[in-house]
Amino acid sequence: MNTFKINTTAYNEEDFFITSNLTEKEIIDVIKPLVMAERNGNDEYDNQDLHGALINAYPNKRITFNHVFEKISI
């Protein structure tokens, strides 16, 4: 399992993380067409849409969406 930071815009607050057994290539192959469609003015998406697209493309893989992490201070 790996945790990936997904960045699709110039705004850091729109970044999110997924923890998955997918490869970087598998993730990019699914979300890049959605991102490019929005940039070309053809469609809109949000981060949950990208997560959903990954789940639909790889229903038997483990894909966890995270945008906020709990902090542990010791």
Alpha-carbon distance 63 to 52, whole Å?
10
pTM as predicted: 0.83
Q: Is residue 53 part of a domain?
A: yes
Q: Is residue 62 part of a domain?
A: yes
Q: Is residue 21 part of a domain?
A: yes
Rg (alpha carbons) of the chain, rounded to whole number: 13
With the C-alpha atoms ordered 51, 55, 57, 58, is the resulting torsion angle positive or negative? Answer: positive
The string of pLDDT tens digits covering residues 2-25 is 999 999 988 888 888 999 999 999
Q: Is residue 73 part of a domain?
A: no
Q: Which residues contact 49 (CB under 8 A, 6 or more apart)?
A: 34
Identify the residue whose tokens are 């923890």: 19
Query: What domain range is 31 assigned to?
Result: 2-66
Q: Is residue 72 part of a domain?
A: no
Q: Is residue 32 part of a domain?
A: yes
pLDDT for res 73: 83
Q: How many domains does the chain have?
A: 1
The string of pLDDT tens digits covering residues 44-56 is 888 899 999 999 9
Identify the residue whose tokens are 């705004």: 11
